Structure 1
Amino acid sequence: MLRVELIRPIPQLLVEHAERFQDKVAFYDDRRSVTYAALAERTRRLAGHLVEAGVARGERVLIYLDNSVETAESYLATTRASVVGVCVNPDAAPSEIGYLLADSDAHVVITDEAHLARVRALIGERGDVLILLTGDREVPDARSYEQLATTEPASAPRDDLDLDDTAWMLYTSGTTGRPKGVLLTQRSCLWVVAACWAPIAGLSAEDQVLCPLPLFHSYALDLCVLGVFAVGATERILPRFSTSRVFELLAAEPFTVLPGVPTMFQYLVHGAGESGFRGDTLRLCVSAGAIMPAALNAEFEQVFGVRLLEGYGITETSTMVTMNWPVGGRVLGSCGLPVPGVGVRLVDPVTGEDVGVGEEGELWVSGPNVMRGYHNRTDATAEVLRHGWYRTGDLGRRDANGFLTISGRTKELIIRGGENIYPAEVEAVLLKAGGVADAAVVARKHPDLGEVPVAFVVPEQPGVLDVAALLELCGRELSRFKVPADILEIDAIPRTGSGKIMRFRLQERLSAFAG
């Protein structure tokens, strides 16, 4: 069941795959492709140049790129230099990227021309940040990524990162709204490949994967970079999801696996219904990142004639915790059974006792896939990692056969089309605006996106609320998916005696507004 041969250091896998697959394409995008033999050489050179430049063991390297072959290469090359690849959202607002750059204390940024001006503005006069620029253009304040990948360095790559040392850091957000760096290892991520993607999804060297997922997500990093690479498959990387582009490529090339999030599959169902399109070469689609409605799952399978498997995963567990299987029984609307080797408990948040079959409890997880902790956040780490268990904050129920269904969240997370939004982060921006006395953000159901954020705002002067100005501010300070879908005026934010927002009261008001 567990493909233990896949849980090995990245450099070792790279060298072996270069010999085994040689000129087979590993990754390709709209611009270029890289074979397995070239992938081994290019990552070796990139890592050697990082060592030569004085990048110390364990330092953080910010990978600030749109989806591309270079993104995948960077995730692998940083392990060869024994440094930490910091995966960030290329669409994040400048203030967010500035915070991530400072919090990670990264002294190297791998970026592309689209983000170069922003990087320059963020680092200012700092002389201790090395910029590696992908693409063909050479600029005086950055080194050419392509030149480093194709020329021999004076130093060899370290190639000695332990399986249990931090390899990648992905940012998430907490209830305070400040992003936290999740520390993941080669073992934690490759365990998911070896226990889930290879044995359950059947990912193998025979597969050709079409990836529309953003590669900075843990789901995409684990499946679409590490999973594809570890088994020797081939992958087409899309710059971003587009219904028409996915249909175009599915019609032109024999893709066998399509990963996505529920929102993507919703758009594909709508598009296929209009065109009569079917994915004839696909053998499997997989979904994670948000809860998949049972009706959507059934409709997709009927329209496309291919199995769509849902799973549950989060960044702190290197993605997958549970997964549905392509064979045997299945419960639509459920996120499946625990991945082999991963422990799952449903616990009463108040008593700490395990709940019974069919009862709701907080999901706790243990196993080799659990994170090392949060970067420089010992208190936050201690709060969620206790006695070998990670407390997810998500609520769920398990049936008599062990199938898990996520029913809600103790955390206040809003998931919009697979993207995580924390209310406190949006509230902090709204409270910066002049004329705003108080603000709170809650989720509203959406037929395609799952959820969207809606803001309740108390103006300093009743009846004087400049909604357009607030939305403009949010657009400047936040990523697009975090901008509220609506801003509604309210007299007062309901709070407890200790000052905590009573969000369920706001949900009731939201229903009243809708009525």
Structure 2
Amino acid sequence: MLKVELIRPVPQLLAEQAERFGDKIAFRDDHRSVGYRELAERTRRVAGHLVAAGAARGDRVLIYLDNSADVAEAYLMTTRASLVGVCVNADAASAEIEYMFLDSGASVIITDRAHVAHARELARTGGATVLVVRPGRVDDALSYEELATSEPAGPPRDDLGLDEVAWMLYTSGTTGRPKGVLLTQRSCLWVVAACWAPIAGLSEQDEVLCPLPLFHSYALVLCVLGVFATGATERIMTRFSPGRVFDLLAREKFTILPGVPTMFQYLVHAARERPVDPGGLRLCLSAGAILPAALNAEFEAVFGVKLLEGYGITETSTMVTMNTVDGGRVLGSCGLPMPGVGVRLVDPVTGEDVGVDEEGELWVSGPNVMLGYHNRADATAEVLHHGWYRTGDLGRRDPNGFVTISGRTKELIIRGGENIYPAEVEAVLLKSAQIRDAAVVAREHPDLGEVPVAFVVAEEPGKLDVDALLGGCACELSKFKIPAEVVEIETIPRTGSGKIQRFLLQKRLTAPAG
């Protein structure tokens, strides 16, 4: 059931939560915690200072911070000044961050001491103002903390419309240069109201443990907007590690753990060497990439906690479909469409809807769909058609309406006329006790056109039995789907949401196979 009362401007929700929950903790990390009343006051003051300093409506603010409560606060603060929050991966290469800074046209950078030197370089290039979080002063930068604890000359705007741009998040960059996705308060809060509150049951009773990177839309919507809109409390991890997750679960009471499939894969592997204590966990949530059915089942068997998979992407403010706690579900499926969201599976060639159990490209319509790409009219026109967003993802729908994602249209490997979906091969590889992580990409072949190549991270580096691995594949895959080559690698390059950056792996395949 859609919880429409949650789809309101952030300032309104902040004011109500401050009154209702007072000093209850909203967000905490390794360094500090912030309560609901304090959150409302701090965001009011900083937004008021920026408005008084001349920040124009719609100006972009680059949020260049490590995972922390500061990120959550910055996301909410920008809406109060009617600015656009642009959160980036603080661990990205300097050139990538510079690209997103210049592409966004940000006039303000919020950063921390670990990144202030680079932020100042960017500011000199683009003429931006730098704010540094936490106590202390830095030359040529303002103290965010001083702004948050002193009264501004005037109030914040607090008038950003539900359908105006509120946040701009960059696509994962799995195939090249990322694009700025324009999201609104309505598009994001609709997902909270249609998915996280009614389906996951997120409420003021919950304590969320968040290992997700907050620069990603999955975390923005669930771990920032979902948490504060429902009155929950959240512990934000600076970085994910299985050992740290186990420590926190054993020491504190958490009810919800969101993650991406890779995180759950590593937790299962770590549990083989360490006793599992899920504490008070009632639910785990997975999105961002395909969750293999075998991993889903193994995680639930080891941890004794339900792991629900959903499907979403940045351009749809994350979630489109979701499995449910109490209703029927199909392991390996990403569930049913959310309330108010339309889903079609379309033949990419004919443009006609495909039938039950037939493969098609997933198209989405609804209030959660982005406004478009920042300064990319051509790219926007390519994917938005008469209210429908073409995701580029391929999938099927069973007779009961459950959707299963098979891969990306651009990732399809065609070997001698036969279609191979990397995700299917990866799911089989990950069943091997030898393998910690895997990715499959195409290598050019003079006769077959393309052949699949598997990059794998071994449990015991240097001791991989390739024949045994391929023998296992032969038991479950047609011969043409078996990798033509296996390459051992230290780590699979992934985005913050867990998506494989296949273009980086394909760069390693410089010579066609003979």
Contact preservation (8 Å) 1:454, 1:484: no
- Give 1:41 deviation, angstroms: 0.2
Contact preservation (8 Å) 1:455, 1:487: no
Looking at structure 2, the residues matched to 363 and 349 of structure 1 have their Cα atoms a distance apart, in angstroms, of 9
The residue correspondences of 1:171-320 to structure 2 (distance < 5 A) are: 171-172=170-171, 177-320=176-319
Cα distance change, pair 455–93 in 1 and its aligned pair in 2 (3 A): farther
| 1:46-102 per-position Cα deviation (integer Å, ceiling 9, x unaligned) | 100110111100010000111111100000000000000001111111111111111
Q: Secondary structure at the match of 2:273?
A: helix
Q: Could you say which residue in structure 2 is the equivalent of 1:338?
A: 337
Is residue 451 of structure 1 aligned with residue 439 of structure 2? yes
Q: Could you say which residue in structure 2 is the equivalent of 1:132?
A: 131
Looking at structure 2, the residues matched to 308 and 479 of structure 1 have their Cα atoms a distance apart, in angstroms, of 21
Q: Secondary structure at the match of 2:391?
A: strand
Q: Could you say which residue in structure 1 is the equivalent of 2:383?
A: 384
Q: Could you say which residue in structure 2 is the equivalent of 1:87?
A: 87
Looking at structure 2, the residues matched to 454 and 97 of structure 1 have their Cα atoms a distance apart, in angstroms, of 29
- Matching residue's letter, 1:363: L
Is residue 57 of structure 1 aligned with residue 45 of structure 2? no
| 1:350-388 per-position Cα deviation (integer Å, ceiling 9, x unaligned) | 111000000000000000000000011111111111011
Gapped regions of structure 2 (runs ≥ 5): 414-421, 431-435, 445-490
| 1:90-126 per-position Cα deviation (integer Å, ceiling 9, x unaligned) | 1111111111111101010001111111122233365
Q: Secondary structure at the match of 2:171?
A: strand
Q: Secondary structure at the match of 2:381?
A: helix
| 1:7-52 per-position Cα deviation (integer Å, ceiling 9, x unaligned) | 0000000000000000100000010000000000000001001101
Cα distance change, pair 286–82 in 1 and its aligned pair in 2 (3 A): same
Q: Could you say which residue in structure 2 is the equivalent of 1:437?
A: none
Looking at structure 2, the residues matched to 28 and 339 of structure 1 have their Cα atoms a distance apart, in angstroms, of 30
- Give 1:176 deviation, angstroms: 7.1
Looking at structure 2, the residues matched to 487 and 315 of structure 1 have their Cα atoms a distance apart, in angstroms, of 25
- Alignment size in residue pairs: 448
The residue correspondences of 1:403-482 to structure 2 (distance < 5 A) are: 403-412=402-411, 445=426, 447=430, 448-451=436-439
Q: Could you say which residue in structure 1 is the equivalent of 2:10?
A: 10
- Give 1:282 deviation, angstroms: 0.4
- Matching residue's letter, 2:46: L
- Give 1:248 deviation, angstroms: 0.5
- Give 1:179 deviation, angstroms: 1.6
| 1:160-192 per-position Cα deviation (integer Å, ceiling 9, x unaligned) | 000000000000167872221100000000000
- Give 1:454 deviation, angstroms: 8.6
Root-mean-square deviation (CA, aligned residues, Å) is 2.5
Q: Could you say which residue in structure 2 is the equivalent of 1:348?
A: 347
- Give 1:213 deviation, angstroms: 0.3
Looking at structure 1, the residues matched to 244 and 174 of structure 2 have their Cα atoms a distance apart, in angstroms, of 37
Is residue 322 of structure 1 aligned with residue 321 of structure 2? yes
Q: Could you say which residue in structure 1 is the equivalent of 2:160?
A: 161
Contact preservation (8 Å) 1:311, 1:336: yes
TM-score by length of 2: 0.83
Q: Could you say which residue in structure 1 is the equivalent of 2:463?
A: none
TM-score by length of 1: 0.83
Q: Could you say which residue in structure 1 is the equivalent of 2:447?
A: none
- Give 1:139 deviation, angstroms: 1.2
Q: Could you say which residue in structure 2 is the equivalent of 1:497?
A: none
Q: Secondary structure at the match of 1:356?
A: coil
Looking at structure 1, the residues matched to 365 and 8 of structure 2 have their Cα atoms a distance apart, in angstroms, of 21
Question: More deviation in 356-365 or 132-141?
Answer: 132-141
- Matching residue's letter, 2:51: V
Looking at structure 2, the residues matched to 105 and 125 of structure 1 have their Cα atoms a distance apart, in angstroms, of 11
Looking at structure 2, the residues matched to 102 and 125 of structure 1 have their Cα atoms a distance apart, in angstroms, of 9
Q: Could you say which residue in structure 2 is the equivalent of 1:26?
A: 26
Looking at structure 2, the residues matched to 244 and 52 of structure 1 have their Cα atoms a distance apart, in angstroms, of 46
Q: Could you say which residue in structure 2 is the equivalent of 1:495?
A: none
The percent of aligned pairs where both chains have the same amino acid is 72
Contact preservation (8 Å) 1:278, 1:305: no
Gapped regions of structure 1 (runs ≥ 5): 415-441, 457-474, 493-508
- Give 1:408 deviation, angstroms: 1.4
Q: Could you say which residue in structure 1 is the equivalent of 2:169?
A: 170
Q: Could you say which residue in structure 2 is the equivalent of 1:439?
A: none
Cα distance change, pair 140–298 in 1 and its aligned pair in 2 (3 A): same
Q: Could you say which residue in structure 1 is the equivalent of 2:392?
A: 393
Contact preservation (8 Å) 2:356, 2:397: yes
Cα distance change, pair 298–489 in 1 and its aligned pair in 2 (3 A): closer
Looking at structure 1, the residues matched to 125 and 505 of structure 2 have their Cα atoms a distance apart, in angstroms, of 38
- Matching residue's letter, 1:451: A
- Matching residue's letter, 2:110: I
Looking at structure 1, the residues matched to 138 and 412 of structure 2 have their Cα atoms a distance apart, in angstroms, of 41
Cα distance change, pair 150–488 in 1 and its aligned pair in 2 (3 A): closer
Contact preservation (8 Å) 1:175, 1:411: no
Q: Could you say which residue in structure 2 is the equivalent of 1:66?
A: 66
Looking at structure 2, the residues matched to 198 and 62 of structure 1 have their Cα atoms a distance apart, in angstroms, of 29
- Give 1:273 deviation, angstroms: 2.4
Q: Could you say which residue in structure 2 is the equivalent of 1:101?
A: 101
Looking at structure 2, the residues matched to 164 and 479 of structure 1 have their Cα atoms a distance apart, in angstroms, of 28
Looking at structure 2, the residues matched to 125 and 195 of structure 1 have their Cα atoms a distance apart, in angstroms, of 42
- Give 1:328 deviation, angstroms: 2.1
- Give 1:329 deviation, angstroms: 1.4
Contact preservation (8 Å) 2:411, 2:441: no
Looking at structure 1, the residues matched to 281 and 120 of structure 2 have their Cα atoms a distance apart, in angstroms, of 43
